[in-house]
Amino acid sequence: MLTKKGKYGLKALVDLARLPPGQTAFITEIAQRNNIPKKFLDTILLELRNAGVLRSKKGPGGGYSLSRPASEIRIGHVIRTLDGPLAPIRCASRTAYEMCDDCTDPETCRVRISMTSVRDAMSSILDSMTLAEFAAGGILPPETSVEKRVG
């Protein structure tokens, strides 16, 4: 599940993606426009800056801006930066794997196998979605379109 930290980070990035190129925004402005607690946003934006997603500038004309075009920032990277692995359980993670205490054979565990498929599907969508697409309303890959789910 996406945490508040991840949600607020995505909201702030959408806010910055809508700015004209080269323009910056102060944390207080982003926080007010998106109803995000300023102290929490300070921490989130610092993490995103340290991950290379944002840049900050001090002084007159200062504030935060995207470090590169929104079309080059992947949502999967943002969520992993703020919330950690995408896998719904640790034993299905590629980067933070931990065997479950109650598991005797991870290779045949039906829960792990199923959650690995869930992880792969989430990763496929989030790693292909850019911030520009996300800010415009997201994308649905052809195999998950509404017509195929309903029909």
Of 76, 80, 86, 113, give the one whose Cα is nearest residue 1: 86
Cα separation, 67 vs 123, in Å, equals 23
Q: How far is CA 32 from the centre of its chain?
A: 21
> Going by CATH, does the domain composed of 4-66 fall within 3.40.50.300?
no
- Mean of the per-residue pLDDT values for the chain? 88
Q: What percent of the chain has pLDDT over 90?
A: 60
Q: Supply the DSSP string of 8-38, one letter for each residue.
A: HHHHHHHHHHTSPTT--B-HHHHHHHHT--H
pLDDT at position 147 is: 46
| pLDDT score of 143 more than 70 | no
| pLDDT score of 144 more than 60 | no
pTM: 0.84
Residue 119 corresponds to which amino acid?
R
Q: What percent of the chain has pLDDT over 70?
A: 91
- Give mean pLDDT, residues 23-46: 96
| pLDDT score of 146 more than 80 | no
| pLDDT score of 77 more than 90 | yes
- Give mean pLDDT, residues 16-40: 95
pLDDT at position 141 is: 55
pLDDT bucket at 21, cuts 50 / 70 / 90: confident
**Domain chopping of the chain, boundaries:** 4-66, 86-136
pLDDT bucket at 100, cuts 50 / 70 / 90: confident
